[in-house]
Amino acid sequence: MFASALLRSSQPRLIVRAGRASAGTKFALRGYATFPGGKPNQARMGQGGGTTAKNDSSEKSFFSWLNNINPFALVGAATILISGYTLIIKPYFEWRTDLKKRADDRVKEEESGKVGYSDEEIAQFPFDTKNVVFVLGGPGSGKGTNSAKLVEDFGFVHLSAGDLLRAEQQREVSQYGELIGHYIREGLIVPHEITIGLLRNAMMDHPASNRFLIDGFPRNLVQAKAFEDTVCKAKKVLYFECPEATMLERLLDRGKTSGRTDDNIGSIKKRFRTYINDSKPVIDEYAKEGKVMTVSCEASVEDVYKHTHDQIEALLRTLKKQAAEEKQSAKEKQSAKEQQSAKEQQAAKEDSDKK
């Protein structure tokens, strides 16, 4: 009995030490291997509660178990882990970081109360020295096309009220985006506070320029008065006169490729009504002041632009002449002021000498 117990208690140690000796020994080792955790596989030996292996036996059994692992399986597992990190985990954390940054930027912008320039910067900007020409006409009359050519020939800065509003609508943190989208779809006039603010900021983005074409604005008399009260007065109005049938044909053709939400028959008809009811009175009002330059759009594209070019060229000559006259007048006033100051100083000196 003593010999039998001794043999039974030494079996794990003997099998581990001979683990590499033979196939039979390896089979025995697998039947009585000690896995991580320190307990032998007693079920496979038919034992219900044999003696626990010692620490050194557990350590050697772990290495034997490790030797039985397929190295290709290890490489595959490592590849899966690395791929998972590269394709899933890393992009997720990058996305979260970017999302937080955008949210923080949105909060900062909303907390600032407005986007653009400070009240002090606006007050100091020399709007009264700028030559502004309003470009008006019905939808599809050619305002944008001819304005682009005038930019090339005369160095104007072209500001499209519609383009500025659409850009603001698409801006991610805009507080007016949804409101602007509604007005555009319905063919209505966006509140003038929004439009004028965008135009003013766009002018301030070009401090070195003195020539501005403002296309598609003002849309009504309220906008016209508000702009001239808060920004500057327009020098002239360039009006493209075009039949409604021609404009409708142009807009429907443009809608095939423009991607604009208002280039559809429903929005176009609403825009025509708005133009007739609100925008046409603006042209009539400026015509009373002698500020309207009318260009008929019934001629060829080349003739329309030639007429436009000639009118703008004549305007710029007039403005240049007026600027020279104003400069000369200011110079004469300054000279007269200096002479008057010199006379007063001379008189004061004479009075002092008499005393």
Kindly report, residue by residue over 233-257, the tens digit of the pLDDT: 999 999 999 888 888 888 888 877 7
Whether residue 74 has pLDDT greater than 50: yes
**Cα separation of 200 and 198, whole Å?**
6
- pLDDT value of residue 20: 44
Q: What is the pLDDT of residue 108?
A: 53
DSSP-assigned letters across all residues of 188-226: PPPPHHHHHHHHHHHHHT-TT--EEEEET---SHHHHHH
Query: Which pLDDT score, from 0 to 100, does residue 57 have?
Result: 62
In tens, the pLDDT along 149-183 reads: 999 999 999 999 989 999 888 887 777 888 888 88
Q: How confident is the model at residue 355 (pLDDT cuts 50, 70, 90)?
A: low
What pLDDT score does 133 carry?
97
123-139 confidence digits (pLDDT tens):
999 999 999 999 999 88
Answer whether 168's CB lies under 8 Å from 177's CB: yes
CA dihedral sign of residues 64, 68, 71, 77? negative
| pLDDT number for residue 25 | 43
Please tell me which of 103-107, 288-292, 328-332 the model is most confident about, judged by mean pLDDT.
288-292
Mean pLDDT of all residues in 79-108? 75
Residue 6 pLDDT grade (very low, low, confident, very high; cuts 50, 70, 90): very low
Cβ 240 vs Cβ 143: under 8 Å: yes
Considering only residues 320 and 24, tell me which one the structure prediction assigns the higher pLDDT. 320
Of 174, 198, 173, 177, nearest in space to 105 by CA: 173
Mean pLDDT over all residues of the chain? Answer: 79
Residue 354 has pLDDT above 70, yes or no: yes
Band of residue 59 on the pLDDT scale cut at 50, 70, 90: low
pTM of the full structure: 0.60
Would you list the DSSP string of 110-175? HHTS-SS--HHHHHHS-GGG-EEEEEEESTTSSHHHHHHHHHHHH-PEEEEHHHHHHHHHH-TT-S
**How do 211-215 and 157-160 pair as beta strands?**
parallel
Complete edge-to-edge strand list for the sheet that includes strand 236-241: 157-160, 211-215, 131-137, 236-241, 292-296
Higher pLDDT, 169 or 62: 169
Cis peptide before 207 (omega within 30 of 0): no
In percent, how much of the chain has pLDDT > 70? 76
> Does 260 have pLDDT greater than 80?
no
Q: Report, as an integer, the average pLDDT of 58-62.
A: 63
| CA of residue 296 relative to chain centroid, distance | 37
Q: Can you tell me the mean pLDDT for 106-112?
A: 50
Q: Predicted confidence band at 266 (pLDDT cuts at 50, 70, 90)? A: confident
Q: How far apart are CA 180 and CA 353, in angstroms?
A: 74
Q: How confident is the model at residue 114 (pLDDT cuts 50, 70, 90)?
A: very low
Higher confidence at residue 350 or residue 48?
Answer: 350
Q: Is the pLDDT of residue 15 over 90?
A: no
Which pLDDT does position 123 carry in this prediction?
Answer: 92
pLDDT-derived band at 3 (thresholds 50, 70, 90) equals very low
Tokens found for residue 27? 């089979």
**Token digits of residue 120:** 């002090």
- In angstroms, the CA 208 to CA 73 distance is 69
Q: Between 29 and 271, where is the model more confident?
A: 271
Residue 221 · residue 304 · CB < 8 Å:
no
Phi-psi domain of 296 (left: phi exceeds 0; alpha: psi -120 through 50; beta: other): beta
pLDDT the model gives residue 274: 81
**Listed ranges 81-95, 163-177, 303-317; the one with the highest mean pLDDT:** 303-317
Residue 52 clears pLDDT 60, i.e. is over it: no
- What pLDDT is recorded for position 156? 96
